Amino acid sequence: MSHSPSEFGPLTYISRGYGYSEKGLALEIYEPLSGSPKLLIMGSIHGDESFSTVLLSECLRSIQDQELKSSIILTANPDGVLAGTRCNSRGVDLNRNYPTANWSPDPVFYRNRPDTPQNIALSPGDGAASESETKALIKLIQDIRPKLIVSIHGFLGCIDDPDISPIAKDIALRSGLELVPDVGYATPGSFGSWCKEQAIPIITYELPAQDIAEMKRIHTPILKDLMTGHYHKMLL
């Protein structure tokens, strides 16, 4: 079924499954009708950052089927999104569960508001890549071999790219967010660390703390361009 450019109703794109969450929910990816996608965009590896899913869904619903040139994962952590939790259903921070050289079994501490202590403990997993969601995403990436991954988070309000790539520079300019080579603290077992060890370029798009209407106004045009191939010419 085709979309009109102004449609914001049901999501009618056909996804394919790439695995299941710990609670048995389908892990889904949306892909171009033809061609090999160079770019993978993903949201909600943290379930309490589901605004990223909302933004990606709105972009996907606003384009024609044939316009999609990138692969899209609306949520990498569906159990967490449904529960409203940062972690998956087993209490694991999936963004600390990847098999990296710096993976640690120590608890992960975070804050759920900028002005609160960083004292909420989550597990990094029983071991590296212990979670269904982690294993499935690793296999998917090994299969599709994207040339760039853009992972959407919040609320640090920056564009994190260790390579300071031209795409990251342009996103930072358009969004008004600071471009940084790292987030300024250790992230053992993170998805970004794993990508770096696999020599897969990754941009972490850290949205700022603002209301969803403002997020849509500023960031939807950028995400839509990422989806429709505007940036593909900048990929090697």
Whether the CA torsion 68, 207, 78, 212 is positive or negative: it is: negative
Question: DSSP per residue over 101-131, as a string?
Answer: TT---SPEEE-SSTTS-S-EEEB--SSTT-S
pLDDT tens, position by position, for the chain (236 residues)?
344 545 568 998 999 999 999 999 999 999 999 988 999 999 999 999 999 999 999 999 999 999 999 999 999 999 999 999 999 999 999 999 999 999 999 999 987 766 777 888 999 999 999 999 999 999 999 999 999 999 999 999 999 999 999 999 999 999 999 999 998 888 999 999 999 999 999 999 999 999 999 999 999 999 999 999 999 989 86
The separation between CA 138 and the C-alpha centre of its own chain, rounded to angstroms, equals: 13
Biggest distance spanned by C-alpha atoms of the chain: 49
Residue 234 · residue 167 · CB < 8 Å: yes
Q: Cα(201)–Cα(181) distance, rounded to whole angstroms?
A: 12
Contact 88, 21 (CB under 8 A): yes
**CA–CA distance, 52 with 30 (Å, rounded to integer):** 15
CA–CA gap between residue 146 and residue 99 (Å, rounded): 19
HSE-CB of 125 using CA atoms within 13 angstroms: 24
Phi-psi region of 35 (alpha: psi -120 to 50; beta: other; left: phi over 0): left
Pairwise CA distance, residues 205 & 161, whole Å: 9
C-alpha–C-alpha distance, residues 214 and 179, integer Å: 20
In the residue annotation, 133 being an active-site residue is answered as no
Cα 202 to Cα 209: distance, rounded to the nearest angstrom: 22
Of 31, 49, 131, 206, which residue is the catalytic one? 206
Residue by residue, DSSP assigns 217-233 as HHHHHHHHHHHHTTTGG
Rounded to whole angstroms, the Cα distance separating 127 from 106 reads 11
Tokens matching residue 96: 């600390």
CB atoms near residue 111 (< 10 Å): 11
Distance in angstroms (rounded) separating the CA atoms of residues 58 and 196: 29
Helix, coil or strand: residue 51: helix
